[in-house]
């Protein structure tokens, strides 16, 4: 090597190093104990900051540095952390809240659905057919056309049939699911691939809808859906990655900065898919710095030992973006498919009490083992009986395995018998609930349970709060839209479209409680309260600027627009 170059390079290096403390004030400051406070990158002032932190619930200013909240308070207090590089944002009196945490999503399923035919909101048969027709144009011959979100109630109730779309889809199998996910329409090409004919028998727990003459119409209900769904190729790795990125952009546009992903698991679907999503999608995105939303992952409970082994090696935070939540199982089915488990039978099916979908001994064994290995457990329970069974199970597991901070979760906790709401608070069980589901269920619950029973026990958010339960809000996206501001409004107003009055007015909650359920309580519900959930010094600077000009206005209108979403102190939307 040329000696002269080496010498001059060394001199340049020495000069560069020795000039650092003089040129970089941050470096310089670190040597001065009196100036040891970090410098703010960003100061927000003149706002109405709702922190979700009871030690200082409202403030007008905050300072952000290195992706974290540094200070919250009045302007002169946070301004102490400014220097010449600090940016300042005048909020003009607007409301700021912590980034929302959606406590229950199926993130990659939702993203995949965004890439498919969107039938949500379609209110005419012609539009339904039109959207499929458009999809045919952009789909290769022989490839599946997939989609969902249709609701026949919007066009008067007629159920769709394969005959609506067979003419326009002679070369493509089609599968489009109803908004609630318990019914779907296949065209004749798809029926043929699935081997469904005049002679097929209904599988257990499902129905193949037929015409009066016995011919399948194309509609499949509950477990019969699997006949077609099992024929659909699993999305490619690229599709699943794209799905996650699209889902993240949508979440940010709605003010969501953290999601709890319950995976793509539903009873009968392979548990491996959640693990493949973890490695192919989330770990891939993290290693290429493509994560935009923090995710807390739950895995199918039958794979508890795999998660237990992994967390022993890695801990619960893989990075600032990916956290391990715990494991999930199912106690019962759903109200829409008459499979949620109740003490009394369904009014429209007098012999049906619903289903216990996981063998009780198996569920107990898995819960004991998961809990013993330190994992958090979340179990889906919708009917009143299912909720009591799981509370009993949790009690038994807690007394067997001994005291610890375990925060058992019940997902949905939708219908609760008298006395049950208080048990959540007393027994320290998290109620992970989805306000927007009540918009669809208010009508059907009356029909399926009877009006009185439905009003006594459905979506008892205020009763849960009165009993000191930790209540976490979520959407169940893509079953309902990912939209915390909508969920907050629904929890406050409980007014389904076309309803004049609230459904069960005594269960309406305050704006403060609704925002907390989407922020700090949601963070506690998945053990992330040290990192997120409130605008508190030391936590990630994840927050949302709303259009509302005062807390009173926000409370009165129960709505606002998302103006900007920040993650780690950086604007991520728009």
Ligand X SMILES: *[C@@H]1O[C@H](CO)[C@@H](O)[C@H](O)[C@H]1NC(C)=O
Which residues of this protein are in contact with ligand X, per CB under 6 A? 73-74, 76-77, 197-198, 213-215, 365, 368-369
The separation between CA 480 and the C-alpha centre of its own chain, rounded to angstroms, equals 10
In sequence order, which residues have a C-beta less than 8 Å from that of residue 54 and are 6 or more positions away?
A: none
The residue (of 214 and 350) whose beta carbon lies closer to ligand X is 214
The CA-CA-CA angle for residues 431, 432, 438, to 5°, reads 105
The nearest distance, CB 557 to ligand X, in angstroms, is: 30
Q: Are 286 and 318 in contact (CB under 8 A)?
A: yes
The residue (of 215 and 276) whose beta carbon lies closer to ligand X is 215
The residue (of 213 and 399) whose beta carbon lies closer to ligand X is 213
The nearest distance, CB 86 to ligand X, in angstroms, is: 18
Is the preceding omega at residue 480 within 30 degrees of 0, hence cis?
no
Is the preceding omega at residue 345 within 30 degrees of 0, hence cis?
no
The residue (of 215 and 422) whose beta carbon lies closer to ligand X is 215
The nearest distance, CB 478 to ligand X, in angstroms, is: 34
In sequence order, which residues have a C-beta less than 8 Å from that of residue 245 and are 6 or more positions away?
A: 111, 285, 290, 292
The single-letter DSSP state of residue 283 is I
| Sheet arrangement for strand 117-118 | 117-118, 145-150, 174-178, 183-186, 216-222, 206-210
d(CA 397, CA 388): 14
The nearest distance, CB 56 to ligand X, in angstroms, is: 8
d(CA 392, CA 388): 6
The residue (of 73 and 446) whose beta carbon lies closer to ligand X is 73
Phi, psi of 529 (to 5 degrees): -70, -15
The residue (of 305 and 320) whose beta carbon lies closer to ligand X is 305
The nearest distance, CB 9 to ligand X, in angstroms, is: 50
The nearest distance, CB 200 to ligand X, in angstroms, is: 11
The nearest distance, CB 93 to ligand X, in angstroms, is: 18
The single-letter DSSP state of residue 200 is P
Q: Are 169 and 189 in contact (CB under 8 A)?
A: yes
The nearest distance, CB 372 to ligand X, in angstroms, is: 7
DSSP-derived 3-state class of residue 340: coil
The residue (of 367 and 486) whose beta carbon lies closer to ligand X is 367
The residue (of 214 and 233) whose beta carbon lies closer to ligand X is 214
């Amino acid at each position: 090597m040329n000696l002269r170059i080496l010498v001059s390079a060394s001199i340049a290096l020495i000069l560069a190093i020795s000039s650092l403390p003089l040129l970089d004030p941050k470096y310089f400051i670190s040597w001065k104990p009196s100036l040891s406070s970090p410098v703010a990158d960003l100061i927000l002032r003149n706002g109405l900051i709702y922190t979700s932190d009871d030690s200082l619930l409202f403030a007008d200013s905050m300072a952000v540095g290195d992706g974290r909240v540094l200070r919250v308070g009045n302007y002169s207090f946070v301004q102490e952390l400014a220097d010449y590089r600090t940016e300042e944002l005048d909020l003009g009196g607007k409301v700021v809240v912590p980034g929302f945490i959606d406590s229950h999503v199926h993130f990659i399923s939702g993203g995949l659905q965004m890439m498919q035919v969107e039938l949500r909101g379609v209110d005419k048969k012609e539009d339904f057919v039109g959207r499929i027709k458009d999809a045919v144009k952009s789909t290769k011959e022989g490839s599946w056309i997939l989609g969902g979100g249709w609701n026949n109630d919007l066009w008067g109730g007629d159920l769709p049939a394969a005959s609506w779309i067979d003419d326009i889809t002679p070369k493509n199998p089609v599968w489009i699911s109803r908004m609630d996910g318990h019914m779907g329409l296949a065209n004749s090409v798809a029926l043929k691939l699935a081997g469904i004919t005049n002679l097929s028998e209904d599988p257990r727990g499902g129905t193949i809808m037929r015409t009066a003459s016995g011919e399948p119409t194309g509609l499949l209900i509950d477990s019969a859906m699997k006949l077609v769904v099992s024929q659909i190729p699993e999305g490619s790795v690229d599709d699943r990655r794209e799905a996650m990125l699209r889902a993240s952009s949508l979440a940010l546009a709605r003010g969501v900065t953290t999601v709890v992903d319950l995976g793509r698991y539903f009873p009968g679907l392979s548990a491996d898919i959640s693990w493949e999503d973890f490695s192919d999608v989330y770990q891939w995105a993290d290693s290429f710095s493509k994560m935009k939303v923090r995710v807390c992952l739950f895995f199918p409970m039958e794979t508890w030992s795999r998660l237990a082994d992994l967390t022993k090696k890695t801990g619960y935070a893989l990075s600032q973006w990916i956290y391990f939540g715990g494991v999930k199982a199912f106690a019962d089915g759903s109200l829409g498919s008459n499979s949620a488990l109740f003490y009394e039978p369904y009014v429209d099916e007098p012999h049906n009490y619903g289903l216990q979908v996981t063998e009780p001994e198996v569920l107990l064994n898995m819960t004991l083992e998961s809990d013993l290995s330190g994992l958090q457990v979340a179990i889906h329970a919708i009917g009143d009986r299912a909720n009591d069974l799981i509370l009993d199970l949790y009690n038994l597991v807690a007394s067997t395995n001994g005291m610890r901070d375990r925060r058992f979760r019940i997902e949905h906790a939708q219908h609760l018998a008298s006395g049950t709401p208080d048990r959540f608070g007393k027994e320290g069980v998290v109620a992970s609930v989805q306000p927007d589901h009540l918009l669809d269920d208010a009508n059907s619950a009356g029909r399926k349970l009877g009006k009185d029973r439905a009003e006594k026990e459905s979506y008892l958010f205020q009763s849960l709060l009165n009993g000191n339960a930790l209540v976490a809000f979520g959407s169940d996206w893509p079953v309902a839209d990912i939209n915390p501001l909508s969920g907050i409004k629904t929890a406050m107003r409980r007014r389904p479209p076309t309803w004049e009055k609230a459904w069960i007015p005594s269960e309406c909650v305050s704006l403060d409680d609704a925002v907390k359920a989407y922020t700090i309580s949601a963070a506690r519900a998945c053990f992330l309260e040290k990192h997120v959930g409130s605008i508190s010094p030391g936590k990630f600077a994840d927050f949302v600027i709303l259009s509302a000009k005062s807390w009173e206005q926000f409370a009165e209108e129960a709505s606002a627009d998302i103006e900007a979403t920040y993650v780690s102190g950086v604007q991520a939307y728009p």
